[in-house]
Structure 1
Amino acid sequence: MTSDRPARLNRDDVLRAALELLNEVGIDALSTRKLAERLGVQSPTLYWHFKSKAALLDAMSAAVMQESRAIATPGPDEAWQDWLMEDGRSFRHALLAYRDGARLHAGTRPGEAQRGSIELRLQRLCAAGFEPGPATLLMMSVGRFVVGWVLEEQSAQAVDAPPSSTLDGPDASQYPLLAAGWLANVRGDADAVFDRALRLLIDGARP
């Protein structure tokens, strides 16, 4: 029995081309038509691998996480605060690795491939004294914090960023506290500011 499925184009080829196209045109301009043109095929060919654009975007998000995010099991003697900080940093770097990475990931849920790693993290949090509910909520809070943080970063860097994203800081003579905070955080080193903000969230969590 013969199959009409294209022999040369596999799922990884489609994902790789889609991520390259994402970096070039952004998530709003990404379309299955443009992707098919890049691959030299007709649009219906892509449906052998992905039934819709939404399914393609979902798979692209998972591929970004697998490719760019360091997935490490916490060591038995490692403080949960430390590995959760590192996990948040790794997540941010993965989202920043691609144009519109935060928008691509927003709203997705972990698939089967990610659930084993999540279960190990929850085991470590529960061993530290958390119940499953609060442990899961803590990991969700860190994840959503990172997505929101990177969404702000990438939106401010976009070509069509709001004009207010480039405004100067407040007048120190009129708003001394706000000016000091602005200088330390809005105009500070991006990685260091992120670390301080994430640390505030994690330090507030207690079993």
Structure 2
Amino acid sequence: MSSPSTPARGRPPRLDRARTVQTALDLLDRSGLDALTMRRLAEAMGVQAGALYRHFATKQDLLTAMAERMMDGVTEAAAQTRGGDWTERLAALAHALRAALLARRDGARVFAGTHATGASVLGFADAVMGVLREAGFPAEDAARALYTLTNFTVGHTLEEQAALPWGDADPAGPAALADAVADGTYPHLEAGLPALTSADFTRLFEFGVGLLLEGLRARR
């Protein structure tokens, strides 16, 4: 005889939010965001598509829950630099966010546009604002800096993931850019080609975060 928490033999496991989100993330890694549909998710879980709507009214609700799950542990990972100054702590939080988004295929696309209010997302946001307020920034400036740092990180990672092997970006993009500026019409772009076509996204990210932190330091 099966217990209430154990499905009877031959029946699919009980549907719950946690398992649904995990299965959706697994499908995301295998096939990407464009292929993640409620129908395919239901098939992977062995249930009717309508059953999913008991937990998620829309696909956007599902994406929001996925974004929240992706942020699990981000604040804790960044806390390793707790003893550093405020700029080092902010940089660590930005790097931890990028790493969380890169850990999932199309992670930045999933995260962009969601408005999760779970403990992981709010904990990250509160940590960023806490660092800034402790550094002397008023709450309004800290909030705006939170948006700026988060938007840069998500936007950068969107472009980074588009250039990954599983992305939709044209792999000939760097060569196409080089050909487009080779006739001398755009001399400044031609001069910057080594940086513009570099695949060193970590260096590019660090440069951008550094600019943001220098601006915040000057404002402070």
Match of 2:193 in 1: 182
The alpha carbon displacement at 1:148 in A equals 0.8
Match of 1:126 among 118, 129, 133: 133
Q: Which moved more, 1:162-171 or 1:90-99?
A: 162-171
Q: Distance in 2 between matches of 1:100 and 1:85?
A: 22
Cα RMSD after superposing both structures: 2.8
Would you say the 8 A contact 2:108–2:154 is kept in 1? yes
Q: Of the two structures, which has the highest relative contact order with CA contacts closer than 8 Å and spacing of 6 or more?
A: 1
TM-superposition CA deviations, 1:116-143 (whole Å, max 9, x none): 4533432331221111011111111010
Pick from 35, 38, 43 the counterpart of residue 41 of structure 2: 35
The equivalent residue for 2:143 is 136
State the alpha-carbon separation in 2 of the partners of residues 95 and 69 from structure 1.
13
Higher mean alpha-carbon deviation, 152-161 vs 64-73, is at 64-73
Identity percentage of aligned residues: 37
Which residue, 209, 212, 216 being the options, matches 1:201?
Answer: 212
Say which is worse superposed, 124-133 or 108-117, in terms of deviation. Answer: 108-117
User: Which residue identity lines up with residue 85 of structure 1 in the other structure?
Assistant: A
**What is the count of residue pairs matched by the alignment?**
203
State yes or no: 1:86 paired with 2:100.
no
Call closer, same or farther: CA 1:26–1:165 in 2, change over 3 Å.
same
Aligned to 2:114: 108
C-alpha distance 133-172 of structure 1, shift in aligned 2 (>3 A): farther
Structure 2 gap ranges (5+): 1-11
CA shift digits 1:59-78 (9 cap, x unpaired): 01111111667554486652
Distance in 2, Cα, partners of 1:69 & 1:182: 36
TM-score (norm: length of structure 2): 0.79
Of residues 173, 177, 187, the one that matches 1:165 is 173
Q: Which one is further off, 126-135 or 107-116?
A: 107-116
Q: Normalising to structure 1: TM-score of the pair? A: 0.83
| Shift in alpha-carbon separation, 1:159–1:193, aligned structure 2, 3 A | closer
Query: Matches of residues 66-81 of structure 1 in structure 2 within 5 Å?
Result: 66=72, 70-73=76-79, 77-81=83-87
**Residue among 9, 24, 29 paired with 2:30:** 24
Corresponding residue SS for 2:34:
coil
**Residues of 2 paired with 1:107 and 1:96: CA distance?**
17
Indicate how the Cα distance of structure 1 residues 100 and 117 shifts in structure 2: closer, same or farther if over 3 A, else same: closer
Q: Is the 8 A contact 2:98 2:154 kept in 1?
A: yes
Instruction: State whether structure 2 residue 58 is matched by structure 1 residue 59.
Output: no
